[in-house]
Amino acid sequence: MMAGLFGLARRNWQIFKPAEVSKSATPLRFGILGAADIGPQALIIPAKSHPDVVIQAVAARDPKKAKTYADKYNILEVAASYQSILDNPAIDCVYIPLPNGLHFEWALRALKAGKHVLLEKPSVSNTTEATALFESPLLRTPNAPVLLEAAHYIFHPAWTVFMSFITPSEVAHAKAVLWVPRWKFADDDIRYRYELGGGALLDLGTYTSSALERVFGGLPEACEECVTRPGTYDERCERLFSARFRFPGGGLGEMAGDLKAPLSRFSPDVEVEHRGVVVSGAEAGVDEVAEGQEVVRTRRVKLALFVQPAFMHSIQVDDEFVLHKTGDESAVVKSWKKSKTVKAYTFKEAGIDQPGEAYWATYRYQLEQFVNKVRGREVQQWVHGVDSINTARMIDMAYEAAKLPLRPTSEY
């Protein structure tokens, strides 16, 4: 018990205070567009333990804020503007944590400048922008720059292990939820500003919709219902949402999120229920299945704390087995259950040959794959352009079902 608590405390300390490593002779040099609060967690701290990454420069609308930010996080340069970072030949990559409504313009500007782009989620404000960005001819040229939407949770071993228990074609029902404590964001935060791509569906729904899309293996056919509650700043920007999607084959996916959740709502979870399927005796853990009988398994899987599993998480797998006469579910011979709880802070724990440390946050695993992609090496986990487009489509479907306007398209 004490060893487990010590390990938990040590891991969580190292997430924020990782050991710094020596840098390679020619590391990738990153510029950050915007002195954003998410920057340290998403890039600056993960870069400390990556030998091939240096944070070279930051720019902000307020030069004083950029200088304070650079001093606080030991960033080498303060650039005069976002564009000056893009014009700097020493910068290889840019990280864009700007307000949502500015993502499309500055991602496209960065690609035009030949920079690799790590784009904070949500990638853009709507499907129109997503299609234009991720299907841009700039990404199809020889030696094209890399573009990645920072859906960081999918890079962690916990998500890989969770998905190893999921069979998308057999999923009957899934639900993804994400809560933010009510004190986290002020009523006039940028998340409530329509012109900047505000709203809980974009801010939180990016996580929940992308999780559902991966669990079901594709886009839903329709959003059957989406209930929202507006924030106090702009009634077009929802504070919370609850949506239900119908997927091909009849599967139902639900998602919910709240930017001002009560403390009773804490854990961001994904829960999946499969349809009953016939499995072999070996899969069911029985020595032999008699002729004229079959075993049906119904599997439920829950990943608790899916967004930030490095801090703590659990994967609960519950299997129900029924042995009955073939073709006659009412003729039950016997039934039984099997359950297990799994955790994976490193790929090694999961039996996968991939680098990682227990203290690597989702963002550090993401950075590992981003650098691999830029360097032309194979990547094991990735958010493809079609994934980002599908996420945007699901969010637009939810807005339409809620009878709310889609977030505005950039004029750039």
Counting residues of the chain whose pLDDT is more than 70, the rounded percentage is 99
Q: What is the mean pLDDT of residues 109-121?
A: 98
pLDDT of amino acid 1: 54
121 is catalytic: yes
SS (H, E, C) 283-297: HHCCCCCCCCEEEEE
Whats the size of the chain, residue-wise? 412
Banded pLDDT at 282 (limits 50, 70, 90):
confident
Q: For residue 151, with 0-12 CB atoms within 10 Å meaning exposed, 13-18 middle and 19 or more buried, which class applies?
A: buried
pLDDT of amino acid 2: 52
Distance (Å, whole) CA 29 – CA 24:
11
Closest CA to 385 of 217, 147, 219: 147
In this structure, are residues 90 and 29 in contact, taking their beta carbons and an 8 Å threshold?
yes
Interval 72-109: pLDDT, tens? 999 999 999 999 999 999 999 999 999 999 999 999 99
| Phi, psi angle pair for 270, to nearest 5° | -125, 125
pLDDT of amino acid 287: 82
Closest CA to 344 of 283, 303, 300, 299: 303
Beta strand extents in 60-146 (DSSP E only): 77-78, 93-96, 116-119
Distance (Å, whole) CA 128 – CA 155:
26
Interval 353-392: pLDDT, tens? 999 999 999 999 999 999 999 999 999 999 999 999 999 9
Q: What is the mean pLDDT of the chain?
A: 95
Q: Looking at residue 191, what DSSP letter applies?
A: G
The answer to whether the bond into 122 is cis (omega within 30° of 0) is yes
Distance (Å, whole) CA 23 – CA 96:
23
Distance (Å, whole) CA 61 – CA 193:
18
Cα dihedral 387, 391, 396, 401, rounded to 10, equals 120
**Cβ neighbours of 399 (radius 10 Å):** 25
pLDDT of amino acid 263: 84
Distance (Å, whole) CA 97 – CA 120:
5
Q: What is the mean pLDDT of residues 33-53?
A: 97
In this structure, are residues 157 and 345 in contact, taking their beta carbons and an 8 Å threshold?
yes
Interval 234-252: pLDDT, tens? 999 999 999 999 999 999 9
Reduced to 3 states, what is the DSSP secondary structure of residue 125? coil
Reduced to 3 states, what is the DSSP secondary structure of residue 145? coil
pLDDT of amino acid 4: 63
Alpha-carbon radius of gyration of the chain: 23
pLDDT of amino acid 3: 56
In this structure, are residues 104 and 125 in contact, taking their beta carbons and an 8 Å threshold?
yes
Q: Which of 48, 64, 115, 121 is catalytic?
A: 121
Q: What is the mean pLDDT of residues 47-75?
A: 97
The set of residues, in sequence order, having a beta carbon less than 8 Å from that of 354 and lying 6+ positions away, is: 157, 347, 348, 380
CA atoms within a 13 Å half-sphere pointing along the CA-CB vector of 238: 26
pLDDT at 160 over 70: yes
Interval 189-240: pLDDT, tens? 999 999 999 999 999 999 999 999 999 999 999 999 999 999 999 999 999 9
Tokens of 222: 């329709």
Counting residues of the chain whose pLDDT is more than 90, the rounded percentage is 86
pLDDT at 291 over 90: no
Banded pLDDT at 6 (limits 50, 70, 90):
low
pLDDT of amino acid 32: 98
In this structure, are residues 174 and 253 in contact, taking their beta carbons and an 8 Å threshold?
yes
Beta strand extents in 48-192 (DSSP E only): 53-59, 77-78, 93-96, 116-119, 147-149, 171-181
